[in-house]
A and B are shown apart, each in its own frame.
Chain A
């Protein structure tokens, strides 16, 4: 029998925490003298009432968390966030349509950054700030936050942590999960602060700097400007954001070691090496093509080339240039980058570099095994053998990922989208990227997608953020069987 008590209890808690985050927007609304004050207060109140009610209802729940409850908590917890997160949009009347509000919210939490809003510059500051906050919560993950600040998820916490954190295996940087979660959030806050300060130094307003920093470090992609980062005519700002998008795509455990002065560990990490190499390689390739073929000035080609490569590769989705207008060769590279994702244990979406590494190495070794059929040749990562069950897990992950991508494209096409738009929307949502190709490219948005399509894409975003298995297992019959 499932222990629904603890599940509902945690859901109530998450609702309350979401309410606290909404209160952060109240001072913003107040200082800009906007009408939004009330809507955020009401939204927070609803969250508190709902949360309090659920907590009271399950006051005497059994403190026992097994695998099934764990998966349910993570998936339902994210849905709870997404539903309560729509309240400010709906109550303030900025997005009156519930489907649109839900799409916008889950796109925020999953750090996708796909929007249905056509003109964001007319929106109240508080609503813009709320969009950035949804990114910021979702980037590091609400479960990780809950583990960090609250004692309740002590037992079974590691499983929840692993279910939420991206990558084939979650590593601890401290023996205690709570301390690990605290350190992750500390690095997260630290990076956000540094970027904010650097952006203010580059001439951004404080409000824009905070929003863009939150959006960068969470690899989200919501901006406060219609033209995204392209709005800023500052080379400095472009390069700073490029740099921080890149940092946000590094495994936070590695960043932790680097911040502690142990650069050796970072530089010896194979995933980091491959990630850097891919970023620099694709950046150079794209820049040179843009420079030679499209005839852009040299500096601009490199700045825009690297910015867009990192923005798409790390699944952030900021925009300084419309890559769909560049040469077709470049568009194909961007399409490939959408499948890459950055490092495991970062805030980025996508397949993740480490999975590509494992599958590449494994494929090469399969060839070697043809000659030595009895040989045991493990896939090695950082000079250590990767356990076979992880290799199989990665193989099935990538297969399921591709199947869902194709399925997504088929569903979108069946709703009347053209070929490019269908595959673009599918990969941009499952990869938590935001801008795709076709009519959902970097200069367009998702407002034209039919209602059903928006719900479907929302589902894809959640699938992508929780890395398929956590959500998909709930759809299997053996999950619900009693034994």
Chain B
């Protein structure tokens, strides 16, 4: 597949790296020499220097026969222009990264498809959706839904009193007579482990489970967590993400939004219903105390400054807030969240890249998901007739060690897949795997 990515910013480069790892042919176009140099050094792509809104440049890079054109520069207007021009010049599909989510909501009305924009991606919208989901699933550090929530992937931090500490996976399975969940990955000291029957669960691990709806509470019990109901949420920063987060949470929670700029705060108070807007400096601990930070169920820091976000989340933690979410700009920090003691680090560019990545990987893969906290991917495969996976039960297949089939959907029913499971054509399987095993796993589904 030939893919042209316009814009070698963080989204573009990260996306290029993800796609290149999947052996796609990537051409990265940008005007900035330094950024291109960086991209060339770190990824397996062709870089072309030039303006992606220029017709001659686009023809030069072969937009005519490309399968996908991704406009991912920092400017919304530029991205829309690139997508429209690219389509007219012959690109098969186009994706534009935008900031104004009104365009997404009015996609049909504006008939953007006929203009040449096949898909719109808004990092801010995706990030706020992710935050809203994490708030609603407050016990989890990571969560992903399949089949409208009938099957869930949940990441969870083990509490000190968790009953499954120091037990092997097999022993833990004995605590689970109903077979409605299973552990699919462990995250220990910065390393991701696909557990086998004799792997021991240790204190301080983060566990990833696939669970049916009914199994979620049992998972919470076994990991020493409870879902404690809470009503209060504090949001730091009236950025686009902050606003969208407030809008999606304000019906169910009491929200306090702290914004530094007075004029902006007034506008926010005008715009947002049922949200108490506070004017003040996010780094002012006294202000946070005055606004009862210790009574918050979740603390979300989404100002434009990563350091402020991280520090204020630490302040929130110190005041006993159970869950803290920080927006960070630097992708390299993402994996550090557990180390510094903040529950979730979000990077909107990473989220956007993952989202575009999912779009690209469509095929026999229904969807794929990147997980924030760990270095693993989830794939959602549809089983084809005569593929290798259907031949034997799972335990007799030589399925890659660094991958695990976690759940299946058969005729609308969900199953947790143990060793005796045998796939049938038409099933949808959820596979959890480390990046190096992706191709080996794919072979089973061909």
Residues of A whose CB lies within 8 Å of any CB of B are: 372-378, 380, 383-385, 388
Docked complex Cα distance between A384 and B271 (Å): 8
Q: Decide yes or no: A376 and B262 within 8 Å by CB, A384-B270, A385-B270 being known contacts.
A: yes
Q: Which residues does chain A contribute within 8 Å of B290, judged by CB atoms?
A: 373-374
Partner of A376, one of B265, B273, B287, B291: B265
Quote the shortest CB–CB distance from A360 to chain B (angstroms).
Answer: 18
B266: which A residues are within 8 A, CB to CB?
Answer: 376, 378, 385, 388
Q: How close is A372's CB to chain B, nearest CB, in angstroms?
A: 6
* B287 in complex: contacting residue of A374, A383, A388, CB < 8 Å: A374
Nearest residue, chain B, Cβ from A385: B270
Among A375, A376, A388, chain B packs the most CB atoms within 10 A around the CB of A376
- Which residues on the A side are within 8 Å of B262 (C-beta)? 376
Q: B175 to chain A: closest CB distance in Å?
A: 47
Within the complex, what minimum Cβ distance (angstroms) separates A350 from chain B?
28
A376-B268, A376-B279 known; 7 new pairs, CB 8 Å cut-off, are: A372-B276, A374-B279, A376-B266, A376-B277, A377-B269, A378-B266, A378-B269
Q: Contacts A377-B276, A377-B277 hold; do A372 and B291 have CB atoms under 8 A apart?
A: yes
Residues from chain A with Cβ under 8 Å of B224 in the complex: none
The reply to whether the CB of B278 lies closer than 8 angstroms to some CB of chain A is yes
A319 vs B267: C-alpha distance in the bound complex, in angstroms? 47
A388→B263 CA distance, assembly (Å): 11
* 10 A-B pairs whose Cβ atoms sit less than 8 Å apart in the complex: A372-B278, A372-B291, A374-B278, A374-B287, A374-B290, A376-B259, A376-B268, A376-B269, A378-B269, A384-B270
Give the interface of B toward A (CB within 8 A): 259, 262, 265-270, 273, 276-280, 287, 290-291
Bound Cα distance from A306 to B9, whole angstroms: 70
When the two chains form their complex, are residues B276 and A375 in contact, meaning their CB atoms are under 8 A apart? yes
Shortest CB distance B261–A (Å): 10
* Chain B residues with CB under 8 A of A373: 290
- Separation of A389 and B80 alpha carbons in the complex (Å): 40
Chain A residues positioned under 8 Å from B278 (CB to CB): 372, 374-376
A314 to chain B, nearest CB (A): 31
Residue in A closest to B265 when the chains form the complex, CB atoms: A376
Q: A375's contact among B267, B273, B277, by CB below 8 Å, is which?
A: B277
Q: Residue of A at shortest CB range from B284?
A: A374
Tell me the smallest distance from the CB of A62 to a CB of chain B, in Å.
38
- For residue A70, give the distance in angstroms from its CB to the closest CB of chain B: 29
Q: A388 vs B270: C-alpha distance in the bound complex, in angstroms?
A: 12
Shortest CB-to-CB span from A78 to chain B, Å, is: 36
Q: Which residue of B lies closest to A377 (CB)?
A: B269
B346 to chain A, nearest CB (A): 26
| Nearest neighbor of B277 in chain A, beta-carbon distance | A376
Set of chain A residues within 8 Å of B267, measured between Cβ atoms = 385
| A374, B259: Cα distance in complex, Å | 10
- Whether A378 and B270, one on each chain, are in contact in the complex, defined by CB atoms closer than 8 angstroms, is yes
Chain B contacts for A377, CB-based, 8 A: 269, 276-277
Q: Which single residue of chain B is at the shortest CB-CB distance from A387?
A: B266
Give the distance to chain B from A139, nearest Cβ to Cβ, in Å. Answer: 34
Distance of A361 from chain B, by nearest CB (Å): 13
Q: Which residues of A contact B268 (CB under 8 A)?
A: 376
CB distance from A43 to the nearest CB of B (A): 53
How many angstroms between the C-alpha atoms of A168 and B280 in the bound complex?
30
Q: B270, A380: Cβ atoms under 8 Å?
A: yes
Contacts of A372 in B (CB 8 A): 276, 278, 291
In the bound complex, CA of A377 to CA of B277 (Å): 7
Contacts of B287 in A (CB 8 A): 374
Contacts of A380 in B (CB 8 A): 270
Output the nearest chain A residue to B287 by Cβ-Cβ distance: A374
CB-CB under 8 A from A384, the residues of chain B are 270
Q: How far is the CA of A372 from the CA of B265 in the complex (A)?
A: 14
Closest 6 CB pairs of A and B: A385-B270, A376-B265, A376-B277, A374-B280, A378-B269, A376-B269
Taken together as a complex, chains A and B put the C-alpha atoms of A380 and B240 apart, in Å, by: 22
Separation of A378 and B280 alpha carbons in the complex (Å)? 16
